[in-house]
Amino acid sequence: MMPLWWPLVLACLLFSLGVYGVLARRNAVQVLMAIELMLNAVNLNLVAFDAYLRDVVHSGQVLTLFVIVIAAAEIGLGLAIVLLVFRTHAGIDIDEMTELADRDDVEAVKEAGARV
Amino acid sequence: MSAAIVVVLAQAIAMVACLAIGHRSEPAVRVVAAGGAAVSWVAALAAAGPHVGDALASDGSYATVVTGAIPIEVALRVDALSAVMLVLATSVALAVQIYSVAYLHDDPRYPSYASIVSLFTAAMTLVVVADDLFVLLVGWEAMGICSYFLISHHWELPEARAGAVKAFLLTRMGDVGFLFGIFTLGSAAGSYRISDIEAGVASGDLHGHIVTVGALLLLCGVVGKSAQFPLHTWLPDAMPGPTPISALIHAATMVAAGVFLVARLYAVFSASQAAMTVLAIIASVTMLGAALFALAQDDLKRVLAWSTVSQLGYMFGGLAVGGYTAGIMHLLTHGAFKALLFLAAGVLAHGVGSTSLAAMGGLRRQLPVTFVTMTIGFAALAGVVPMAGFFTKDAILGAALDAAEHGGPSGTGSAWLVLVCGLLTVVVTAAYSFRAWLLVFFGKGPAGVQEGSWLMRGPLVVLAVLTAEGGVVVLAPGLLGETPRPGLVHAPIAILTTLLVLLSCALTYGEWWHLESGDPAVSLGRLRRPLAREFAVDEAYDIAFVRPVESAAALTVDTDRDVVAPYVFGSGAAAMLLGRLVRLSQTGRVQTYLTVVVLGVAAIAASAGVMAS
């Protein structure tokens, strides 16, 4: 049996890769992929601890299945949003999407309101 | 007792109904307003019947309002005083409502007018039957606001608005004292019920300074409400209101409420010689001063207004010298003849289109009914035998003479003052009544003046009969449940006043004839201007109170703008600046936000690790 720290180190690397992707990539699809990496790092942890603790009911593996289902739903939703963003903004560069910013420009705010 | 509730409620219901019907059906408003007044009148007769001439009172409390300290009781009381006042108030209100149907026939504001008149009467009757000072205060203040609305009935006229505001503010000034008087007496007696306070005074539990202070504070409200010196200037300025309203305010409500209150709390007032002396002095100054002002006025309604102020002075003088029955009797007869005079003045105003004395003259042939009834009214005002006003004025002066000789509740000195001022006022009253009568009905004047409709003449005739025959009340001195000590008829005073009236009328007539139907007031010469300006009391108030308040207001505005505002704007600007700095962090980039979140989580995890180890 392999020692516990192997999968933990792997999960840690995967999670860091995910965080880096979410924070640094400019392409929205790549950001979504990075989120997937983070989720799967967690899944790896769950499976590893499940095996290590010899859980009789395998709650770690069950939880992993749940996470996979939720991740599938989330990626569906996320891709739909990315698609809409692509249509309205003619691009999926996250740096271009700054509507959340606090602006002096009252007209722009009203315009955004009217668009909604 | 239950009849007394009906008196108040009938008017209150009529008020609500008139407002609810509004302009949808003005004939219905007329029926409801006059019908409410009629129901109230009948109920007042039923309530008054058992109590006239009976010293016993029936009272009852309907609810207790727990206040945490002394409870307020919704208590009513009907005794001999309430009985006669109920009849007076509802009778005049009925006459006014009937008269108003014709007088305000084409007035677009008739529904609200009729409604407020009903509320006015309801408030007055509530004052009359209240046995708790706070219940009384409710009616007292409701009358104040009703008078405000009614005086400003023609609110497009600036003088109507000014008169309404003036009436409201001056009476309100007095009411501040009134409220504190209620607190003083109520806390001293441990109850706000009038019967408890009276019992406290009678048993000697309430005595000394507390009674004097309470009575003097209440007197502030009375002076304001009844337009006595020094708060007398509002009543003549209330004249731009419709004439029936003047009749209502001057005869049966509002100003009568002040006299009624002194009579209602007579036990309290007469327990304090200081309060009675002050009352006597105020009454003397007012009765003579107001009569002199009336002599120099050019407007019929203003003459009548000053005559009301002067006659109220008589009533207070009578009460102050211990002539309780005489004072109330004069209130009753004055109610009849002053309502008559104002309603007749309304017919004149309707016919001539103005209330200026200069616009009138020679109207005796064109307005025969008004001529006869108004002659009776003026005769009663002047105190001509055998009109009602003669007997009651005689009773007051007789009481003053008795108090001057044998001592009364206000002391002999002030009783002499009341007597002398009263006799002088008899002369002046006869002069101004006769002058107004001559100027209106004799000499040259407009042609083609129409007599009012029967709805207007009817109340005039009824009131004229009451005025002419009302003097018989002196034959029943026990009307109020107590027999006055010197009686009500005083032969020497009666002969003296009759001679004074004759002399005064002869002088006035002489001047009028001498001036070939001119205004006898011209003969006042240099005195005329200051009298017509009413001794510049208003101007003095303007300098003493209005202008300081205005400059204080201007100072406040400047201070606010130059001293307070910079701090307010400064703090606002500082907050804006700070906000602008904070806004720099709001880039709108989600990844920036997430970076902060991740760093924050890392920091928390690191510090948790440090603390755990």
Indicate the Cα dihedral angle B432, B435, B437, B438, nearest 10°. 170
Flag whether pLDDT at B610 surpasses 90. Answer: yes
Output the average pLDDT for chain B: 83
Partner residues linked to B75 by β-bridges: B61
- Asked if residues B72 and B192 have their Cβ atoms less than 8 Å apart, the reply is yes
The H-or-E segment that residue B425 falls in is helix B412-441
Which of B590, B595, B596, B601 to mutate to probe the A interface, most A CBs <10 Å? B590
A109 confidence band (pLDDT: 50, 70, 90): low
Burial class of A111 by CB neighbour count within 10 A (0 to 12, 13 to 18, 19+): exposed
Judge: A98–B588 Cβ closer than 8 Å, yes or no. Answer: yes
pLDDT digits (tens, 9 = 90+) for B97-122: 888 888 888 878 888 888 888 998 99
B520: preceding bond cis by omega (within 30 degrees):
no
Give the whole-angstrom CA distance, residue B80 versus residue B234. 31
Cβ-Cβ contacts under 8 Å, B590 against chain A = 94, 97, 100
Q: Does ipTM surpass 0.85 in this model?
A: no
pLDDT (average), residues B518-546? 74
* Bridge partner list, B268: none
Place of tokens 């239950």: B2
Nearest of B128, B137, B146, B1 to residue B62 by alpha carbon: B1
The region, left, alpha or beta by phi > 0 then psi within -120 to 50, assigned to residue B61 is beta
Q: Does the structure show a pLDDT above 60 at A116?
A: no
What the block records as the tokens of B283 is 């009454």
| Residues sharing a CB contact under 8 Å with residue B426, sequence separation 6 or more, in sequence order | B383, B393, B397, B497, B500, B501, B504
Task: Pick the closest to residue B131 from B217, B38, B209, B59 (CA basis).
Answer: B59
Of B583, B587, B595, the CB nearest to A23: B595
Q: Are B73 and B194 in contact (CB under 8 A)?
A: no
Give percent of chain B with pLDDT exceeding 90. Answer: 5
Name B288's Cβ contacts closer than 8 Å, sequence gap at least 6.
B310, B313, B421, B424, B425, B428
Helix (H) or strand (E) holding B61: strand B58-65
CB atoms A101 and B586 under 8 Å: yes
Q: At what angle do helices B412-441 and B368-382 cross, to 10 degrees?
A: 160
Q: Is the dihedral of CA B544, B548, B550, B553 positive or negative?
A: negative
Interface size between A and B, measured as CB pairs under 8 A: 30
Report, as an integer, the average pLDDT of B348-373: 79
Q: Token pair for residue B541?
A: 């108030």
DSSP letter, residue B490: -
Contact B182, B192 (CB under 8 A): yes
**Shortest distance, CA A56 to any CA of chain B (angstroms):** 31
Residue A8 pLDDT > 60: yes
B590/A100 Cβ within 8 A: yes
Are the CB atoms for A18 and A38 separated by under 8 Å?
Answer: yes
**Phi then psi dihedrals of residue B207, to 5 deg:** -160, 170
Residue pair B130/B136 in contact (Cβ under 8 Å)? The answer is: yes
Do B266 and B237 form a contact (C-beta atoms < 8 A)?
no
Q: What's the confidence (pLDDT) of residue A82?
A: 92
Q: Which pLDDT score, from 0 to 100, does residue B267 have?
A: 85
DSSP B564: I
The DSSP secondary structure of B497-521, one letter per residue, reads HHHHHHHHHHHHHHHHHHTTS--GG
Neighboring chain A residues of B588 at a CB cutoff of 8 Å:
97-102
Burial class (CB in 10 A: 0-12, 13-18, 19+), B242: buried
Q: What are phi and psi of B356, to 5 degrees?
A: -75, 135
In sequence order, what DSSP letters do the residues of B233-274 get, joined into one string? THHHHTTTS-HHHHHHHHHTSTHHHHHHHHHHTHHHHHT-HH
B591 near A CB under 8 A: yes
pLDDT band (50, 70, 90) for residue B353: confident
**CA-closest candidate to residue B237, choices B161, B349, B322, B315:** B161
Distance from CA of B588 to the nearest CA of A (A): 4
Q: B585 exposed, middle or buried (CB, 10 Å; 0-12, 13-18, 19+)?
A: exposed
From chain A, pick out residues whose CB is under 8 angstroms from the CB of B594: 22-23
Chain A residues with beta carbon closer than 8 angstroms to that of B601: none
Q: Do A98 and B589 touch (CB under 8 A)?
A: yes
**Residue type at B595?**
T
Determine, for residues A102 and B583 on separate chains, whether the beta-carbon distance falls below 8 Å. yes
> Contact A97/B587, CB-based, under 8 Å?
no
Q: What integer pLDDT is reported at residue B434 of this predicted model?
A: 85
Return the pLDDT at B473.
Answer: 65
pLDDT tens by residue, B38-79: 888 888 888 887 777 666 777 777 778 777 778 888 888 888
Q: Residue B86 contacts by C-beta under 8 Å, 6 or more apart in sequence?
A: B4, B7, B44, B47, B48, B78, B125, B128, B129
Q: Which two tokens stand for residue A54?
A: 């010899």
The verdict on whether omega for the bond into residue B230 sits within 30 degrees of 0, i.e. cis, is yes
Instruction: Compute how many other C-beta atoms are within 10 angstroms of the C-beta atom of residue B554.
Output: 10
Q: Is it the case that residue B249 has pLDDT exceeding 80?
A: yes
Q: Which residue from B261, B243, B441, B443 is spatially nearest to B343, judged by alpha carbons?
A: B243
Residue-level pLDDT at A80: 95
Give the CA-trace dihedral at B324, B184, B5, B478, to 10 degrees.
Answer: -10
Put simply, whether B590 touches A (Cβ < 8 Å) is yes
Is residue B178 left, alpha or beta, with left meaning phi > 0 and alpha meaning psi from -120 to 50?
alpha
SS3 B72: strand
Which pTM does this prediction carry? Answer: 0.74
Q: Which residues of B touch A95 (CB under 8 A)?
A: 589, 591
B483 touches A: beta carbon within 8 Å:
no
Q: How far is CA B338 from the centre of its chain?
A: 14
Residue B594 has its nearest CB partner, among A23, A97, A101, at A23
- Rounded to a whole number of angstroms, the distance from the CA of B585 to the nearest CA of chain A is 9
pLDDT of A110 reads: 60
Give the model's pLDDT for residue B525.
Answer: 67
Contacts of A94 in chain B (CB under 8 A): 589-591
CB contact at 8 A, B202 and B265:
no
Per-residue pLDDT tens for B197-247? 888 888 877 777 888 888 889 888 898 888 888 888 888 888 888 888 888
Contact B598 A24 (CB under 8 A): no
